[in-house]
Structure 1
Amino acid sequence: MNFLIDQQHQAIFEKAKAYSVECLAPFASQLENDRELLKAKMKEMAEQGFYGLGIPKEMGGHSYNYLQMSLVYEGLAYGSGIMSFLLQLQNNINMEIATFYEDIDPEILKVVPDLANGNKTTAFVLTENASGCDPSATNAYAELDGDVYHIHGQKDWITNAQDADYFNVMVKDGKDSQNMIMLFVEKGTPGLRYIANRERMIGNGIIVGSLEFDNCTVPKTNLLSANGFKEALKAIDVARVFTPAIAIGVAQQAVDSVAEYLGQRESFGKPILTNQGIQWQLAEMNTKIEAARCLLYKTAAVMDSGEPVATIAAMNKLFATDVAMEVTVKCAQLFGAEGFMKDAPIAKSMAVAKMLQIVDGTSEIQKIVVGRGIARQYLPRR
């Protein structure tokens, strides 16, 4: 397996990184709470060609593979982890609508070009207050009555809950059913109600809220998948390829920025960066980032091959996000008092790293996935 990035791949990464440094990083503070600026930057990213990455070209996208997409998100995260996260979330859902579902209604596919160019937005409606990232614990359900589904229940922690034009909604196939289905719900459908946004440590320019389905009715043709559980797990695996890419971009920027700072800041008559103890800390951090990057590239390559990816994707998510958290905390320490300032970029990087450890399954969930994989391999079969 070749881990060397060729010129084409390097160009993809450099374009994303250059854009993020020039056009995203200078607005980090404003993007934290200014929803209109955030929307404008999302539109700008669409104009720059960062939307529709995994959507086939014949449907208006770029036909990027998972490695190419990973490089885009790593590059964008160098300037803004939050914007990279929001973009990959949009692109993931859009790609799923375009390519994941086997018997999708042709009318639904007509929205894909608008998703590929950023004219329309989507949201993935999976989590609930009591279930988190465990799709099997879903309580919301839909009942089929003739040619329509009636959806009931509440979903929580939904990114773009207020702003999305379309929702991919996972519910039980009947109140007492164990089977899950995925339904396509358009904004403004009667019975669909946005509840409230909750402020977070970082990324409050993004609406993350709850949705209530009170006898929300959609046509039977809006069924995306009769095997929603399988589709949800596949979507989570996709996220566990790209979230680590964002973590790596955030971590690399933290190390680069503190190295530059310490090279210019003097203590006891010489730059702090000349201190061997400091150099060793930076060496350790850069080594861990590079190890995470290699695991990311391998995970993306496995995903591109079509081979089972769940275990290595969990390793990828666990390692990269834990590295990002460790690195940003250490870099904040090396920044000294500057690293403790509320408006310091490293403070935002730490908050993003913590967010990345939690979304798409916490680090503890990743350990469960990996541990169960080991147990299946070595426990006696019964």
Structure 2
Amino acid sequence: MSQQNIEPLDVAAIRDEFPILEREFDGQQVVYLDNAATTQTPDAVVDAMSDYYRRYNSNVHRGIHHLSQEASIAYEEAHDRVADFINADGREEIIFTKNTTESENLIAYSWGLNELEPGDRVVLTEMEHHASLVTWQQVAKQTGADVEYIRVDDDGRLDMDHARELIDDDAAIVSAVHVSNTLGTVNPVSELADLAREHGALSIIDGAQAVPNRPVDVSEIGADFYAFSGHKMAGPTGIGVLYGKQELLEEMEPYLYGGGMIRKVTFDESTWGDLPWKFEPGTPPIAEAVGLEAAIDWLEEIGMDRIQAHEEEIARYAYEQLAAEGDVEIYGPEPGPDRGGLVSFNVDGVHAHDLASIMNDHTVAVRAGDHCTQPLHDKLGVPASTRASFYVYNTREEVDAMVEALDDARQLFS
């Protein structure tokens, strides 16, 4: 379906489901443009989690009483719902973690520490989030593997010719962000997964900035692992998802141990339970899983195609308004099919942190800093940038409020 044929959202009705958007500071209504860090949570998700705590709060898989059975069923069904949402083969391929970062660490410590050897190559991109970059950097140091980075060109896109040079028979891991949380670039993740598979390497995709705002089909992408977080997709904090192909997860050793993930324990040895519980020791994020399922229901009721179209339309408008200012440098590709719903920028003569502070005086919430991509900012030649990121409830009027606040920054620092 083309963007032109997608029914627009009733943003006013959607905003009614987020009481936080009505908050005021010094008489000014909040303008929330920090969605790449954390999206807001609709009433439906809050209600679902509240219902769990009020009606069937209990631990899972450990009791035969009614409350435990209800909680266990809800927790297991949440895995099924996530699997259906991203078109995985089943709950066995869905591991609940705390966030995308823990999902990356699970792969690195369960697979990387056991399989990487000196001379193996770990291929990342120059736009990687620290969740991937730092994790594989440290595991490589422990195993003797080498880390190489696919270059980002001057337009903010991956240099795929360089990718084809790096992803050869020495490559063991290829890890890439689906959508850059700094540049907004939508990367060709299916092509990267294909390249990895051709050379016998595993592929990992960080989908934290993709799953919340566009249809994602892990079977179509073809990557071995795919990770994302609940709190960036209208869900609760404290829960992340690692999708992994079942045959790989079956072979991997756990990296966290304890109750709930075992089959049999003696004084001498232990054996592990079935997937996905093998990777979910201790009391899991039960309420958060209930909330994540409610968030998925809420997103799909709106329609992921419509969410993507709306977010990209707002981001395109923001890009155009900022570009028209003349003294604003914007990072990443121009609006188009390979740019997502955020804009990172700097204003001449104004540090990003100062700009964010002035924005806050206007009750406009943006993010300033390196966005957990310090090496990328080094490559861009700037210490930090200001990032405005959009979601299903944002409007053009909120973009206008952000752009109007730039005048105060210019006057203060001129």
Common fold by TM > 0.5: no
Q: Which has the higher helix share?
A: 1
TM normalised by structure 2 equals: 0.27
TM normalised by structure 1 equals: 0.29
Higher relative contact order (CA 8 A, sep 6+): 2
